[in-house]
Amino acid sequence: MTSPPQPLARTVAVTGASRGLGAAISLELARRGFTVGCLSRKGIGPEDQAVPTDLAARMINLACDVTDEAEARAALDALTEKTGALNAIVNNAGIHKQGRSTDFSSTDFAEVMSVNATAVFAMCREAHPFLTAAGGGLIVNIGSHYDKMGVRQHAAYCAAKAAVGAITRCLAVEWARDKIRVIDVAPGFTLTDLNKPHMESERFRDFITRAIPLGRPGEPEEVARFVAALIGEDIPFATGETYYLDGGQAISN
């Protein structure tokens, strides 16, 4: 009898692991046997739920504000010192800010770009030497289906997520020779703190369930399973693409 394929990636860093999608991705990876570097601003791992002891044992919690490049480098250094290698990174940390474009300040625009796009590039760059040292690896950037939509009051967020798609494509091409693959996973409307205020409105809840062909918002665990499957399956020909996970919303007429 042949034994089941073993996942190639063993240590995965996840940014923004404190809550929402980052916490769900960290837990799912730990559940699948990976050692997970949970990078978060407080450095205490998932904060929005109780972490079972067996999964906590596979998590290494480290402080990392993704906009602080020195801290990011130090966190990846500390992680690889403990695990011996870094095989994959999930650049998930992100913020959401919206407002009428007639009033949206350049400061707010720059902040959204800084966390959601510049820091994604910087984390990829900082991870590169560690992934190269491991003989190659996988970078998963968390984008959004807003990267291809025109959304009122979302010029900054949409621009930043479109940048994530572009960064993913460029690094995939540039680093293919280093055996580093780069993939953009772009969720649609998924229930987390990021959109909790919207979901408190019945009008918005009605709108979003009608806008999504599958008739409901996504769950963080669905994004987590998709990301963990990409890392676990280790499909060597997949790189540079954006994979949408939005219940069909962005392609729906």
Ligand X SMILES: NC(=O)c1ccc[n+]([C@@H]2O[C@H](COP(=O)([O-])OP(=O)(O)OC[C@H]3O[C@@H](n4cnc5c(N)ncnc54)[C@H](OP(=O)(O)O)[C@@H]3O)[C@@H](O)[C@H]2O)c1
* Only segment of 91-99, 131-139, 207-215, 232-240 that touches ligand X (CB under 6 A): 91-99
Binding mask 159-188 for ligand X (x = CB under 6 A): ----------------------------x-
The residue among 9 and 112 lying less far from ligand X, judged by its C-beta, is 112
The residue among 35 and 192 lying less far from ligand X, judged by its C-beta, is 192
Q: Is position 243 annotated as part of the catalytic site?
A: no
The residue among 92 and 242 lying less far from ligand X, judged by its C-beta, is 92
SS3 (DSSP) at 75: helix
Tell me the C-alpha to C-alpha distance, in Å, between residue 13 and each of 166, 171, 185, 192, 210: 22, 18, 16, 21, 36
- Is 68:114 a contact under the CB 8 Å cutoff? no
Picking from 99, 204, 208, 227, the residue whose alpha carbon sits closest to that of residue 157 is 99
In the complex, the smallest distance separating the C-beta of residue 173 from ligand X, rounded to whole angstroms, is 23
Cα–Cα distance for residue pair 232/50, rounded to 1 Å: 24
Of 115-154, binders to ligand X (CB under 6 A) are 115, 142, 144
* Only segment of 16-24, 27-35, 77-85, 198-206 that touches ligand X (CB under 6 A): 16-24
Among 34, 121, 175, 189, binds ligand X (CB under 6 A): 189
In the complex, the smallest distance separating the C-beta of residue 4 from ligand X, rounded to whole angstroms, is 30
H or E segment and range at residue 178: none
Picking from 55, 6, 21, 65, the residue whose alpha carbon sits closest to that of residue 35 is 55
Q: What's the distance, CA 56 to chain centroid?
A: 20
Is residue 87 within the footprint of ligand X (CB under 6 A)?
A: no
Cα–Cα distance for residue pair 238/168, rounded to 1 Å: 12
Is residue 95 within the footprint of ligand X (CB under 6 A)?
A: yes
Among 12, 13, 14, 18, binds ligand X (CB under 6 A): 18
Catalytic residue, from 146, 157, 243, 244: name it. 157
Q: Which residues contact 111 (CB under 8 A, 6 or more apart)?
A: 95, 97
Query: Which spans of this chain sit near ligand X (rule: CB under 6 A)?
Result: 15-16, 18-22, 40-41, 65-67, 92-95, 115, 142, 144, 187, 189-190, 192-195
Please give the positions annotated as active site. 157
